[in-house]
Amino acid sequence: MISVLASTTDQPVAREFFELFKTPWRFYEPGSPVEILLATQGAIPDCEAKLVILFSSQTLALDGETTETKAGAAWFRQDGCELPIYTQFLADAAAPPAPDAASALGQKAQIVFRRSESRGRPLIRIGFDLFAEIRHLLTTGQPPENGAAPTLDRHIAFLRQLILGQGLPLLEIPPRPAGHEFIACLTHDVDHPGIRNHRFDHTMFGFLYRATAGSLLDVCTQRKSLGQFGQNLSAVLRLPLVHLGLARDFWLQFEQYTALEAGRPSTFYVIPKKGEPGLDARGRRMPRRAASYDAADLRDMLQQLESAGKEVTVHGLDAWRDSAAGQDERRRIGCLVKNPASGVRMHWLYFDADSPRKLEAAGFDYDSTMGYNSTVGYRAGTAQVFKPLAAGRLLELPMHIMDTALFYPSYLHLTPRQAEDVVRPLLDHAVDFGGALTVNWHDRSLAPERLWGDFYRRLIWQMEQRKAWFATAAQCVAWFRQRRAAAFETLPGGGITVKLPGPDTEVPPLRVRVYRPQTTVMDETLHDGWQTRLTCTGAQPAPEPARRTPLGVEC
């Protein structure tokens, strides 16, 4: 059990952190037994903790005279863990600068990390404020240049490593569905369902350029094959027939997605109404943001998607800034399909600090806007679904991989081979840390002039090979709600009970993992909850092969 000593303002952040690092914990109470004390305040209470971990960016009495608090960002590197630090940190002026520490963040200072003892207890002193960092990640997020780092997940892994390194046992419900390594969430923003909707506008002119001169340039730079160039030219030649209704509209790709995904669930985010651009953060109306279709015109196709196991929900316009507008957008989509529109992703990824509260007031269960337009990676530093600090119940499903970020000339502009090199680490992180890897492949990205279907097909195959559970966004959020609902209780005489929520037949069960030192004695029983008693003689932990049961218990 971890006892947390944090300020009142940090307590909401601590609660959310320990929903992500799902392990037994509680806030420190004077007089209560303490096994592991995690403190972000300088005054360490007198207790019988087996380990004290002290995070602070301020110089404390135990630090000596060679430390200095610095504002800004730097890298923390320790025991194989690399963490970008964004708020402020305590630099050790006596230590040599960390090698290459300025590669992305600009400061070479060595952040304090010391192992010592206090009143005979092991003490680990770390020169940054853990909860300030978590707050920054869940609100401001990481700059695009650091987006490839799953920083919040590494904070969890580093804390776990510190505990296990002292030979202490640990119980955890990892963010991995039983029988799987992570969740694969395939999503599609429906921006242009039909080229027939476009005549003499910027979208049409952009298509004509990219399908001809742009496509030829892509062949020269190995971004497209000669065969794809031919497909694009053929599409240009068919365009008059499409507008006359004599040829199929090649931008209508719903059936193609259903076939390509081969029974796997996915989510389609649909813009509610035609010709409405909404307002940006400065109150401006950007005409190019307006959709050229009305969701009601797609009713039959949306119902077919739903019948095929897909989720259909809202690609919002003004919901991020106006809860009344959000209610209207949710109603417009909800009346077209059988299941209620429970989630939202904002068009052009519009978002601000107050958006979670407004989306929640509009009746949404989850949002999936937090991601990058210009790159791929972890804006919030995690692949886990989390609760924004401004929300009461709404959960955030971060977005990690977007097709346009990979291939658009104004963004990364990668070849398919380069894109595979960029995406592969995210797939590896998903296996390492679990969570939900969320992909956004736009509705027309299988069609000319983009023709990004081969890459999407390989991406799905790679997820399959890594034992992903494929889920709609709503199913993914439901699984994380089930995990959040699990509770730890202390047994009389020692030990932990895991109280699990009622089974949800729509999602896989939870997995319980026990890290134990070599000489640990462990009894496990299952009745109302999953119980374990752990004792530790101080031996160093040794890795053991996982043992899985049908109930999702792993030891």
- At 33, the amino acid letter reads P
For the segment 435-458, the average pLDDT, to the nearest whole number, is: 98
Q: How many domains does the chain have?
A: 4
The stretches of 362-452 forming alpha helices (DSSP H) are: 403-407, 416-433
Do 369 and 282 fall into the same domain? yes
Do 412 and 487 fall into the same domain? no
Nearest to 467 by CA among 434, 495, 502: 434
Look up the domain containing 237 and give its range: 195-250
Instruction: Report the 3 state secondary structure along 255-303.
Output: HHHHHHHCCCCCEEEECCCCCCCCECCCCCECHHHCCCCCHHHHHHHHH
For the segment 215-221, the average pLDDT, to the nearest whole number, is: 96
Do 373 and 246 fall into the same domain? no
Percent of the chain with pLDDT over 70: 90
- Exposed (0-12), middle (13-18) or buried (19+): which is 245, by Cβ within 10 Å? exposed
DSSP 177-236: -TT-SEEEEEEEEES-S-GGG-SSSHHHHHHHHHHTHHHHHHHHTTSS-HHHHHHHHHHH
494-551 per-position pLDDT tens digit: 778 888 777 666 889 888 888 877 544 332 322 335 555 544 433 333 333 333 333 3
- Local structure of 332: helix, strand or coil: helix
Do 367 and 514 fall into the same domain? no
pLDDT at 79 over 50: yes
The reply to whether 20 falls in a domain is yes
pLDDT at 555 over 60: no
C-beta separation of 23 from 170 below 8 A = yes
Lowest mean pLDDT among 37-51, 142-156, 197-211, 429-443: 37-51
Q: CATH number of the domain that 331 lies in? A: 3.20.20.370
The reply to whether 426 falls in a domain is no
The reply to whether 429 falls in a domain is no
Q: Identify the DSSP state of 488.
A: E
pLDDT at 398 over 70: yes
Do 289 and 235 fall into the same domain? no
Do 236 and 271 fall into the same domain? no
In this prediction, residue 549 carries a pLDDT of 32
In this prediction, residue 521 carries a pLDDT of 34
165-196 per-position pLDDT tens digit: 999 999 999 999 999 999 999 999 999 999 99
The reply to whether 424 falls in a domain is no
- Local structure of 78: helix, strand or coil: strand
The reply to whether 58 falls in a domain is yes
The reply to whether 449 falls in a domain is yes
In this prediction, residue 118 carries a pLDDT of 75
User: What's the CA angle centered on 380, arms 278 and 344, to 5 degrees?
Assistant: 35
Do 241 and 102 fall into the same domain? no
245-300 per-position pLDDT tens digit: 999 999 999 999 999 999 999 999 999 999 999 999 999 999 999 999 999 999 99
For residue 237, the tally of other CB atoms under 10 A from its CB is 10
Angle between helical axes of 299-307 and 254-261 (0-180°, round to 10): 10
In this prediction, residue 499 carries a pLDDT of 84
Query: Of the spans 74-88, 117-131, 164-178, 405-419, which averages the highest pLDDT?
Result: 405-419
Do 88 and 158 fall into the same domain? yes
The more confidently predicted of residues 99 and 122 is 122
The reply to whether 258 falls in a domain is yes
Do 323 and 375 fall into the same domain? yes
Do 362 and 510 fall into the same domain? no
C-beta separation of 381 from 82 below 8 A = no
Do 329 and 348 fall into the same domain? yes
The reply to whether 360 falls in a domain is yes
Do 390 and 355 fall into the same domain? yes
Q: Are strands 530-534 and 522-526 parallel, antiparallel or unpaired?
A: antiparallel
C-beta separation of 233 from 212 below 8 A = yes
Residue corresponding to tokens 């030990």: 495
Residue corresponding to tokens 């649909």: 270
